[in-house]
Amino acid sequence: MTVEELVKEPASWLDGSGPMSSVVLSSRVRLARNLKAYSFTNRSQDSELAKILDQFSRVVKESTFLRKGMLVHIGKLKKLERDFLVERHLISPDLAKGDKNQGLYVGDREAVSVMINEEDHIRLQAMRSGLQLREAWQIVDRIDDELSKHMDYAFSDQYGYLTACPTNVGTGLRASVLIHLPALVLTKDINEILQGIGQVGLAVRGFYGEGTEVLGNLFQMSNRTTLGRSEEDIVDDIEQATRKIIDYEENARKTLLTDARPQIEDKIWRAFGILKTARVLSSQELMSLISAVRLGVGLKMIQSISIASLNHLIMLLQPAHLQKWFNKKMDAGERDIRRAELVREKLTTLSGYAEDDGQPRQGGSLR
Amino acid sequence: MTVEELVKEPASWLDGSGPMSSVVLSSRVRLARNLKAYSFTNRSQDSELAKILDQFSRVVKESTFLRKGMLVHIGKLKKLERDFLVERHLISPDLAKGDKNQGLYVGDREAVSVMINEEDHIRLQAMRSGLQLREAWQIVDRIDDELSKHMDYAFSDQYGYLTACPTNVGTGLRASVLIHLPALVLTKDINEILQGIGQVGLAVRGFYGEGTEVLGNLFQMSNRTTLGRSEEDIVDDIEQATRKIIDYEENARKTLLTDARPQIEDKIWRAFGILKTARVLSSQELMSLISAVRLGVGLKMIQSISIASLNHLIMLLQPAHLQKWFNKKMDAGERDIRRAELVREKLTTLSGYAEDDGQPRQGGSLR
């Protein structure tokens, strides 16, 4: 497997097959771990980081679960490839800046990945389609068990797993869902909901994680504390909170249809029309149009495109992805043109006809 | 012929067959005439107006040119029918308010029409597709010759034809073109052009004539004075000025394509996409979308729809037209929904497939 191959193959967690996929894009559980023998990354020499990376690479070869993946040395990647991996939710923006011995492990179809020498020595994550936090937890738990046999973790009987940042001490676990809340945004109930989420100890972040912007009404919701509760309880909390928010979102969708059906249909169909015809599309507008179409698919207004295809488009049409797809460095202006071109091509293939000439085409799937 | 029948049959002057139709919608020449035996309409008793209307109706029956049309008594029309006739450019907003003996004559496919007892006793107009001012002038001239044999016009050897408003004294002629200038609006050159037009003694008006708003980048350009020059000279002036403006517009289109092709394509195709998918469309937005699509057809980007169809849509989707089409009184909210419905239906028929399901449809023309 290579970084290049990721471009053409959508990640498994985007395939829309999981429960509640019309509202929840994906579930993610990650564990932060550190090796007892080394300082935390912010204090360690690059030679230490090299040893950690080396040790991890040996563990991977012996692992039942990780054997099939690839290990990438971040320092060897170009800027565009790093940006690509951030867009792919495989590495953090921080790791993308890495100029030391930092690494990324990517498992089969990106269901599992590990950042090595980011804030912590090991950041192990599992991603699943839809609302599958428990399943994601079980996966990382199993891999963590195996890794712990080969690596000596920094662990305190009093505090649990020790991490570079105190907010991760304890379980080292962060569970999050990427959730699509277009109706709550339209009814303007979203702020109240977000406040409520904050009050029960959960955090809401943007599309690319902490400190990033919300795009296309996609919210990342995760636990804030990792200490004093079992992993299962933390995961259950997020799962419960997510189910409540799904209920709110679904009620908001019903309300919108009852109170303003023509306006909602208008918003959704126009978005679809614009996606099929635009010649210039910014990332931000694209996300907002796909958000509307995704709502339309959720409401069963639009039948000719699947949630999976929309998820894949969200991924594929990001700036670095686009450049990898067309295999060409492009400035924002050129990207906006190519983005519109690619989305037209994809939607034409999917819905079986082109906008320009009214000629039916061969159908096809996005993959 | 009845007012009802006009709803289904587009006016001949919208058929896009005339010269320069991609820029000029239509050419119009009208003559103002008054009968010597009666006061001007603003001073005359309703009994006098009744006599004028009666005399005109008798003349129509004997006329070679007007025999085939219909004569409508404005006072007998409902509000909606009056609005419909204003939208159709057959009567002025002023005449629509008429509660006295006012009339409208409409000839075959609306090529010729006469307002009776508007500001002047007789307002005779001919409308032609594209830039055909001379042809329109020849038509009204011929009819005017015939009418003058049956009616004694108020005429002064010194001033020419006498009219209620001094601006019409002389020839009583107003020649105008309805001209589509989207590129000059986009390049922002339009204000300079309009100033120039003003300086050579021409007036620019909105879509429904004097004191109305410009919609969809459609400008009505006409002569301001009617005195001291021959009819042919006045018509030639407007024709010359129009040709110059067409040149400016065509140059602006070329500039736009050279300097900002993707943005122009984007604007045009999005407009087409929105027209095909919107569920709510105001009059104003519709006009602006059709303006962009019309530009796209002019630039040969869009091939699947004709100028004629777009002209017909502009007419058909106006508020009173919509209500006549659906045979139902509707408030603005309902109209916006029905407008979107009708435009989708028309564009689906025209371009051979629907947006919703990707199924090809029978082709068809708008008429």
Which of A87, A90, A112 has its CA nearest to residue A103?
A90
Can you give the C-alpha Rg of chain B in angstroms? Answer: 21
The shortest C-alpha distance from A14 to chain B (Å) reads: 25
How many residues in chain A? 367
Of the partner residues B273, B274, B358, the one whose CB lies closest to the CB of residue A304: B358
Interface contact flag, A274 B274, Cβ < 8 Å: yes
pLDDT per residue as tens digits for the range B301-338: 999 999 999 999 999 999 999 999 999 999 999 999 99
Q: Which two tokens stand for residue A316?
A: 């594929």
Interface contact flag, A358 B304, Cβ < 8 Å: yes
Interface contact flag, B358 A272, Cβ < 8 Å: no
Which of A36, A251, A260, A222 has its CA nearest to residue A133?
A222
Interface contact flag, A279 B269, Cβ < 8 Å: yes
Chain A residues in contact with chain B using a Cβ-Cβ cutoff of 8 Å: 262-263, 265-266, 269-270, 272-274, 276-280, 303-304, 337, 340, 351-353, 355-358, 360
Query: For residue B150, which amino acid is it?
Result: H
Chain A hits for B276, Cβ within 8 Å = 273
Interface contact flag, A277 B278, Cβ < 8 Å: no
For residues B290 and B310, the answer to whether their CB atoms sit within 8 Å is yes
Q: Which two tokens stand for residue A24?
A: 């929840």
Torsion of CA A333, A335, A338, A342, to 10 degrees: -140
CA distances from B208 to A242, B102, B305 (A): 56, 20, 25
Under 8 Å CB-to-CB from B257, ≥6 apart: which residues? B264, B299
Query: Tokens 């204003």 appear where?
Result: B86
User: For residue B224, what pLDDT is reported?
Assistant: 85
Sign of CA dihedral A106, A107, A113, A115: negative
Can you give the C-alpha Rg of chain A in angstroms? Answer: 21
Interface contact flag, B353 A353, Cβ < 8 Å: yes
DSSP B225-254: --SSS-HHHHHHHHHHHHHHHHHHHHHHHH
Interface contact flag, B266 A272, Cβ < 8 Å: no
Q: Which two tokens stand for residue B85?
A: 């006739």
Rounded to 5 degrees, φ, ψ at B32 are -100, 125
3-state class (DSSP) for residue B33: strand
Q: Is A320 exposed, middle or buried (0-12, 13-18, 19+ CB in 10 A)?
A: buried
User: For residue B365, what pLDDT is reported?
Assistant: 41
Chain A hits for B360, Cβ within 8 Å = 353, 358, 360
User: For residue A356, what pLDDT is reported?
Assistant: 43
Interface contact flag, A277 B269, Cβ < 8 Å: yes
For residues A63 and A142, the answer to whether their CB atoms sit within 8 Å is no
pTM here is 0.89
User: For residue B359, what pLDDT is reported?
Assistant: 39
pLDDT per residue as tens digits for the range B239-266: 999 999 999 999 999 999 999 999 999 9
For residues B206 and B212, the answer to whether their CB atoms sit within 8 Å is yes
User: For residue B351, what pLDDT is reported?
Assistant: 62
Chain A hits for B266, Cβ within 8 Å = 278-280, 340
pLDDT in tens, chain A (367 residues): 788 889 888 899 999 999 999 999 999 999 999 999 999 998 989 999 999 999 999 999 999 999 889 999 999 999 999 999 999 999 999 999 988 899 999 999 999 999 999 999 999 999 999 999 999 999 999 999 999 999 999 999 999 999 999 989 999 999 999 999 999 999 999 999 988 888 888 898 877 777 777 889 999 999 987 888 899 999 999 999 999 999 999 999 999 999 999 999 999 999 999 999 999 999 999 999 999 999 999 999 999 999 999 999 999 999 999 999 999 999 999 999 999 999 999 998 766 544 443 333 343 344 3
Chain B residues in contact with chain A using a Cβ-Cβ cutoff of 8 Å: 262-263, 265-266, 269-270, 272-274, 276-280, 303-304, 337, 340, 351-353, 355-358, 360
pLDDT per residue as tens digits for the range B184-242: 999 999 999 988 888 888 898 877 777 777 889 999 999 987 788 899 999 999 999 99
List, in sequence order, every residue forming a beta bridge with B177; answer none if it has no partner: B27, B221
Q: Spell out the CATH class of B3-176.
A: alpha beta
Beta strands in chain B (DSSP E): 24-33, 70-73, 103-106, 112-116, 122-129, 155-156, 160-161, 173-180, 202-205, 218-223
User: Which of B261, B268, B279, B300 should one mutate to test binding to chain A, selecting the residue with the greatest count of A CBs within 10 A?
Assistant: B279
The shortest C-alpha distance from A87 to chain B (Å) reads: 26
The mean predicted confidence, pLDDT, of chain B is 91
User: For residue B232, what pLDDT is reported?
Assistant: 94
Interface contact flag, B280 A273, Cβ < 8 Å: no
Beta strands in A9-141 (DSSP E): 24-33, 70-73, 103-106, 112-116, 122-129
Which of B341, B343, B365 has its CA nearest to residue B352?
B365
pLDDT tops 70 at residue B358? no
Rounded to 5 degrees, φ, ψ at A279 are -110, -10
For residues B92 and B207, the answer to whether their CB atoms sit within 8 Å is no
Give the count of Cβ contacts less than 8 A between chain A and B. 74
Chain A hits for B358, Cβ within 8 Å = 304, 351-353, 360
Under 8 Å CB-to-CB from A126, ≥6 apart: which residues? A28, A29, A30, A111, A112, A136, A137, A139, A140, A143
User: For residue A3, what pLDDT is reported?
Assistant: 84
Chain B hits for A304, Cβ within 8 Å = 356-358
pLDDT tops 70 at residue B152? yes
Rounded to 5 degrees, φ, ψ at B155 are -140, 135
Q: Which residue on chain B is closest to A349 by alpha carbon? A: B358
Interface contact flag, A274 B270, Cβ < 8 Å: yes
B103/B80 Cα distance (integer angstroms): 16
The shortest C-alpha distance from A297 to chain B (Å) reads: 12
Under 8 Å CB-to-CB from A17, ≥6 apart: which residues? A129, A130, A308
How many residues in chain B? 367
SS3 letters across B135-173: HHHHHHHHHHHHHHHHCCECEECCCEECCCCHHHCECCE
A68 or B183, higher pLDDT: B183
Which of B84, B142, B147 has its CA nearest to residue B120?
B147
User: For residue B200, what pLDDT is reported?
Assistant: 82
Sign of CA dihedral B321, B322, B328, B334: negative
Query: Tokens 């492990």 appear where?
Result: A105
User: For residue A351, what pLDDT is reported?
Assistant: 62
User: Which of A259, A280, A357 should one mutate to test binding to chain B, selecting the residue with the greatest count of B CBs within 10 A?
Assistant: A280
